[in-house]
Chains A and B, each alone.
Chain A
Amino acid sequence: MSPPGRAGPGQGRQPPGPFRPRFWRSPLRGQWLTSVLGLVLLGGLSVMAVTGLLSYASYDPRLPGNDETSGAGLLHFYLFSWPTDPAWLYRVNQGVHVTLGVALVPVVLAKLWSVLPRLFSWPPVRSPAHLLERISLIMVVGGVLFEMATGIMDIQNWYVFPFSFYTAHLYGAWVFIAGLVIHVILKFPRMLAGLRSRSLRRELRTPLDQTQPEDPDPAGLRAARPAPPTISRRGLLAAVGGGSLLLAGLMVGQSIGGWTRRTALFAPRGLSAARPGTLPVNRTAADIGLTDAEVGPAYRLTLVGARQVTLTRAQVAALPQHSAVLPIACVEGWSASATWAGVRLADLARMAGISHPAGARVESLERHGSFKAASLSGAQVNDPQALLALRVNGADLPRDHGYPARVIIPAAPGVHNTKWVSKIVFQ
């Protein structure tokens, strides 16, 4: 079948189909294209790794009960206590992590498409070094697909995976990071050579009728028998970039908020959550089974410190009130800013007889769920903007937003702004 001039060593023994180099026809595959996509991913996935690890740090996992990942190994290192300033820190971190993660989907697909013939390279293993390198590719390819799949499913509340999202997304990230670092170390020189092999400026000026296959490369990314092109190289890059912009453009409004929320057609808290006078939530009062009796006149707030104090909602409302404009931001990437009003947590600590609180544990009326309680650091409790809020945007808290009282802390993850607060234990 193959012309005699092309048959290399071992050519006759390779299985048919994708294992034959001549099976792959796209004239656009080549080291330059793979290197450009690789460079974009090197930047984008590094941002994903950093924002992801910051997201883990934002839970202050060293505080009791805060680590959702149920582990205690070396990968649970705590370099710093999560700051409360700037207040937008968590909002921006999660917005970037989730929006960028979705926007990178077409780039990852294009990059995998560009190297897919290598999956079927024959012989499958040439040396121990080659075998180990292929195993490391499981970490980087499996890692990026696993992380994207679990992240994208989690933001849509599609919990069909047989593991805890927090645990699996964190350890999947570590497997991926290990794979990515070794992949970059091994491939960086080749990426640079690929980038130098063609001029980006010239590619961007080359229309379809002048598009030629790339030069052959040592990895054999270029097709052995390229078909005539049906799209230019710049056309393919524009389609990939356009796909990223489309995905990001139709979701980023859920993170920016305001009028832009109405532009977020494909985002879990986008256009659907853009109802005037409301803020998005990720747990409803109906979901936790909150009863009228629990939030009615029988409601009591218990403060525990050097002494124990029990207050009705009216007594809390009679304490000195402060207001703060703070974002509520979810690990799932959406956020919204609001004006919250209530009592400073530091003032409540003093009522309980603790003048310099080193931290607090806040408990909710919720009976079940991972976030029915949260531990706060000393910095969070002492921040003058950290409130036990009773009102939002000039009205009593809606029940879905934690009526009778909720915590709001600058730069804290949404789930640490405990709703339906029943008890605060100060240390």
Chain B
Amino acid sequence: MGQQDRLPVGRGPKSPAGWFRRWYGAQPLHLLALLAAFALAGYAVRDMVGAGQWFGFVIWFAVAIVGHDLLLFPLYSLADLSLRRLLPAPSRRPARSAGPPVVNYIRVPGAFSLLLLLVWFPLILGLSAHAYHRASGLAESPYLGRWLAVTGVLFAVSAASYALALRRRASRARRASRHRHRFH
């Protein structure tokens, strides 16, 4: 999007190609390539019509887009914004003196944990326990415990690396102050 205003003009504004460009907003090849793509996609949807399943197919396409753009994205943005608001102000700023920004030591394990949940929530929440057991002979019950355990490990590793970062910073600061002491 937005490319069309920068495409080479080639012909004068009075020529048919120039008229087309002004009306359409891009060169004719742009239109032909898009029509070819629409034809292929339309052919695939036609086969879904043939299979008698096009309605659910189209609805799920729409739900996938709306679900991501207008539900998942606002939710995770809001969660991130709330996290940053809840934290003490200095850690939000990348100020050199304020210590490592704690926000990322919460964000990253939190994001990893939610990512695992996003992909595996049918197993974790036991939503398909019956069909899964029929197919595999296995139970979905272990997955919730595993998710909680992995989440715990992720936050523990993050806390440990935050502690290490704090220590490194403190010892650097001590060295710097000894250095200053010696030379002033």
Contact = CB atoms under 8 A, between A and B. Distances in A.
A128 interface: yes
A230 B84 contact: yes
B38 A178 contact: yes
Interface stretch (B11-19, B131-139, B172-180): B131-139
Q: Label chain B's interface by main secondary structure.
A: helix
A289 B143 CA distance: 27
B119 A266 contact: yes
Contact of A152 (B119, B137, B142): B119
Interface in A160-216: 161-164, 167-168, 171-172, 174-175, 177-179, 181-182, 185-186, 189-190, 208-209, 211
A411 B62 CA distance: 37
B85 to A, nearest CB: 12
Given A75-B44, A190-B3, A242 B108 contact: yes
B96 to A, nearest CB: 6
B115 A146 contact: no
B137 A71 contact: no
B43 A75 contact: yes
Nearest to B154: A246
A132 B32 CA distance: 11
A128 B25 contact: yes
Contact of B115 (A105, A145, A273, A400): A105
Contacts of A138: 61, 65
B150 A265 contact: yes
Contacts of A239: 107-108, 111
B168 interface: no
Interface in B94-153: 94-96, 101, 103-104, 107-108, 111-112, 115-116, 118-120, 122-123, 127-128, 131-132, 134-139, 142-143, 146-147, 150
Given A75-B43, A181-B37, A129 B24 contact: yes
A53 to B, nearest CB: 13
A70 to B, nearest CB: 5
Nearest to B26: A129
Contacts of A43: none
B40 interface: yes
Contacts of A209: 94-96
Interface string A97-133: 0000010011000001100101101000011111011
Given A73-B47, A139-B37, A273 B111 contact: no
Given A175-B41, A178-B41, A268 B132 contact: yes
Contact of B134 (A152, A164, A168, A287): A287
A129 to B, nearest CB: 4
Residue with the highest number of chain A CB atoms closer than 10 Å, among B38, B61, B116:
B61
A326 to B, nearest CB: 20
Contacts of A102: 119
Contact of A128 (B23, B61, B92): B23
A269 interface: yes
B50 A174 contact: no
Contact of A179 (B26, B41, B47, B94): B41
A172 B44 CA distance: 8
Counting chain A residues whose Cβ lies within 8 A of the other chain, the interface size class is 35 or more
A174 B40 CA distance: 7
Interface stretch (A32-40, A276-284, A340-348): A276-284
Q: Name the residue among B47, B50, B147 with the largest chain A CB count within 10 angstroms.
A: B47
A113 B73 contact: yes
B86 interface: no
A405 interface: no
B88 interface: no
B116 A156 contact: no
Nearest to B127: A158
A142 B65 contact: yes
Interface of B: 1-4, 6, 23-26, 30-31, 33-34, 36-38, 40-41, 43-48, 50-51, 53, 55-57, 59-62, 64-65, 67-69, 73, 84, 92-96, 101, 103-104, 107-108, 111-112, 115-116, 118-120, 122-123, 127-128, 131-132, 134-139, 142-143, 146-147, 150
10 contacts: A75-B47, A105-B118, A128-B25, A146-B60, A157-B131, A168-B48, A168-B57, A174-B44, A230-B84, A283-B134
Interface of A: 69-71, 73-75, 102, 105-106, 112-113, 116, 118-119, 121, 126-130, 132-136, 138-139, 141-143, 145-146, 149-150, 152-153, 156-159, 161-164, 167-168, 171-172, 174-175, 177-179, 181-182, 185-186, 189-190, 208-209, 211, 218-220, 228-231, 235, 239, 242-243, 246-247, 250, 265-266, 268-269, 271-273, 280-284, 286-287, 400
Given A159-B131, A171-B45, 13 more contacts: A112-B73, A138-B61, A139-B41, A157-B128, A163-B57, A174-B40, A182-B36, A211-B94, A231-B103, A239-B107, A242-B112, A266-B146, A273-B136
